[in-house]
Amino acid sequence: MKFVPLPQSFYEPSAEMVAPRLLGQWLIRKTADGFCGGPIVETEAYLAEDPASHGFGGETARNRAMYGPPGRAYVYLIYGFHFCVNAVCQRAGRAEAVLIRAIEAEYGEDLMRDNRPAAKRISLTNGPGKLCAALAIDRKLDGADLCDGQAELFIAANPNLKLFRRERGPIITTTRIGIRRAAHLRLRFCLGGSAFISRRVRPPLPQSIAPPDSTNPAPTKR
């Protein structure tokens, strides 16, 4: 399998725009034993003026990677045990990022099971902490260049993106999970037909959005 990383320009728009566009693209971990990872099926956007964002209070040693440049990984620890991985967006100096909440376990399942034993395949990567454990993502990968195919962690273009989104669709927008500040903002995006999303949306479904025609369409004016 030849993986082609998404270019830095993909991440230059706001995280609110990048988050749904990441659905279906591949999160790939490169190890000494091979590749592991799979298509992204759930994301959350965190914006520059967002009280729930780690960048809201200013730059620190912990969140420095979130301040750019775009296309880098921001990895942090929660609850003293679980890591979470984000894709940094916007220009350098403006802290925005997309939290990757779930992927489908498609490549290197044996490697992922070595890192995180799970009774069911779905349980390997159906949450932000779970996928980081399965892919052995920790703070050592904070600041990794997601646009570099030789990096230990990168995001690659899915050549069958339209088909994958059609099979796993629709793309659904909801409020974010597990936060108190700005909890009303509808900045969580997931492929409703994927079994790997971390929390199932029950009827009535939130507002759906149509999948973009391109992996990097021109930003829309607001």
**Tens-digit pLDDT profile for residues 44-74:** 999 999 999 999 988 999 999 999 899 999 9
Beta strands 34-46; 73-78: pairing state:
unpaired
Within-domain flag for 109: yes
Quick one: which of 48, 51, 84 has its CA closest to 68? 48
Q: Is the pLDDT of residue 129 over 90?
A: yes
Instruction: Determine if the pTM surpasses 0.95.
Output: no
Within-domain flag for 205: no
Structurally, the chain folds into a number of domains equal to 1
Within-domain flag for 216: no
- The one-character DSSP state at 145 is B
Within-domain flag for 61: yes
Quick one: which of 120, 74, 124, 109 has its CA closest to 95? 74
Q: How confident is the model over 185-200, as pLDDT tens digits?
A: 999 999 999 999 998 7
Can you tell me the distance from the alpha carbon of 86 to that of 88, in angstroms, rounded to the nearest whole number? 6
The CATH number that applies at residue 140 is: 3.10.300.10
Within-domain flag for 91: yes
Within-domain flag for 20: yes
Can you tell me the distance from the alpha carbon of 114 to that of 98, in angstroms, rounded to the nearest whole number? 27
Within-domain flag for 183: yes
Within-domain flag for 25: yes
Full residue range of the structural domain in which residue 123 is found: 8-195
Q: Is the pLDDT of residue 220 over 50?
A: no
Cβ neighbors of 197 (< 8 A, separation 6 or more) are 41, 42, 101, 102, 126, 190, 191
